[in-house]
């Protein structure tokens, strides 16, 4: 066993060192050109244009994003509902299409929520809080309504499912009503998200470190990225420890 472990380490080490080397070279190149851009005033011009753009779009961003995302979401839900009403209870392909439509409808509601929170925060910086405070709860009501309809339709298609989106214990009840295959799929999806975040967080850290040299963004954004990364790592590890104790 020890020989196998050492052999695997020796086999993987060159590739790992190559990745570190390439990342270091790319980081150095990015830092060099970032510093040059700062000296030429390019970054200042970019920040000014971004600030002007945000000041223009922020007052109406929430209703526009809500319409752009939730209207297609409700259309997907309606299409899945009509398909299910006409389904012959035999075609697995048709059932998978309906599930995909409902999943994308939920994705639309999630994206709408993220945009809502982002532009609500932006509105306080660009003196457009009155419009956002009005539009934000309307958008949230609509996206929660979409989520409720998607969950209800999913329960109609799967009578064994339990839970209401208005129940504070919805996630636990829904998970308890899932079979082993569905739980395995959730586990794979969660691990995939875990891997993605472990790539995104260090990339964001690197970008913010470079920006701090040329734009003085401060330590707060870097701290937030490290905090989120730490919460991800620690919560994942502790949950693995907890599950391993139950398994034994």
**101-115 per-position pLDDT tens digit:** 999 999 999 999 999
Q: Span 197-220, mean pLDDT?
A: 83
Which tens digits make up the pLDDT trace of 6-18? 665 566 667 656 7
- Does some domain include residue 196? yes
Q: Give 24's pLDDT tier (boundaries 50, 70, 90).
A: low
Residues 61 and 150 reside in one and the same domain: yes
Residue 30: per-residue pLDDT: 61
Residues 74 and 136 reside in one and the same domain: yes
Residues 92 and 153 reside in one and the same domain: yes
Residues 107 and 153 reside in one and the same domain: yes
Q: Span 132-143, mean pLDDT?
A: 93
Q: Span 162-177, mean pLDDT?
A: 88
Domain boundary among 122, 154, 177: 177
Question: What's the pTM value of the predicted model, to 2 decimals?
Answer: 0.78
Q: Which two tokens stand for residue 180?
A: 């082993």
Q: Residue 47's Cα: distance from chain center in Å?
A: 25
Number of compact structural domains in the chain: 2
The DSSP secondary structure of 112-176, one letter per residue, reads HHHHHHHHHHHHHHTT-HHHHHHHHHHHHHHHHHHHHHHHHHHHHH-TT----TTSTTHHHHHHH
- Does some domain include residue 29? no
C-alpha 52/C-alpha 63 separation (Å) is 20
- Does some domain include residue 90? yes
Q: Give 155's pLDDT tier (boundaries 50, 70, 90).
A: very high
C-alpha 70/C-alpha 138 separation (Å) is 12
Q: Give 19's pLDDT tier (boundaries 50, 70, 90).
A: low
Residues 144 and 78 reside in one and the same domain: yes
Q: Give 43's pLDDT tier (boundaries 50, 70, 90).
A: low
Cα of first residue to Cα of last residue in the chain, in angstroms, is 23
Q: Give 231's pLDDT tier (boundaries 50, 70, 90).
A: very high
Residues 71 and 164 reside in one and the same domain: yes
Model confidence at 1: pLDDT above 60: no
Residues 62 and 166 reside in one and the same domain: yes
Q: What percent of the chain has pLDDT over 90?
A: 40
- Does some domain include residue 216? yes
Model confidence at 203: pLDDT above 80: yes
Residues 161 and 225 reside in one and the same domain: no
Q: Span 153-170, mean pLDDT?
A: 89
- Does some domain include residue 126? yes
- Residue-number span of the structural domain to which 162 is assigned: 51-177
Residues 94 and 160 reside in one and the same domain: yes
- Does some domain include residue 149? yes
Residue 163: per-residue pLDDT: 86
Conformational region of residue 218, where left means phi above 0, alpha means psi within -120 to 50, and beta covers everything else: left
């Amino acid at each position: 066993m020890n020989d196998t472990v050492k052999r695997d380490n020796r086999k993987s080490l060159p590739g790992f060192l190559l990745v570190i080397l390439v990342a270091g070279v790319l980081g150095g190149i990015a830092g060099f050109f970032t510093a040059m851009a700062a000296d030429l005033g390019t970054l200042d011009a970019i920040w000014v244009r971004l600030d002007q753009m945000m000041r223009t779009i922020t007052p109406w961003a929430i209703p526009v994003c809500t319409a752009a995302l939730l209207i297609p979401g409700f259309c997907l839900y309606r299409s899945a509902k009509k398909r299910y009403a006409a389904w012959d209870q035999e075609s697995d392909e048709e059932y998978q299409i309906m599930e995909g439509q409902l999943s994308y409808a939920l994705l639309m509601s999630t994206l709408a929520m993220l945009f809502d929170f982002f532009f609500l925060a932006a509105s306080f910086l660009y003196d457009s809080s009155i419009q956002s405070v009005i539009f934000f709860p309307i958008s949230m009501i609509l996206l929660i309504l979409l989520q409720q309809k998607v969950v209800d339709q999913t329960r109609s298609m799967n009578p064994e499912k339990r839970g209401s989106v208005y129940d504070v214990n919805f996630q636990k009840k829904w998970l308890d009503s899932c079979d082993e295959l569905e739980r395995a799929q959730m586990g794979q999806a969660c691990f995939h998200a875990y891997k993605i975040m472990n790539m995104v967080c260090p990339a964001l850290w690197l970008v913010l470190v470079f920006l701090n040299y040329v734009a003085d963004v401060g330590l707060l954004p870097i701290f937030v990225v490290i905090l989120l990364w730490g919460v991800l790592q620690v919560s994942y590890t502790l949950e693995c420890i907890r599950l391993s104790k139950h398994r034994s």
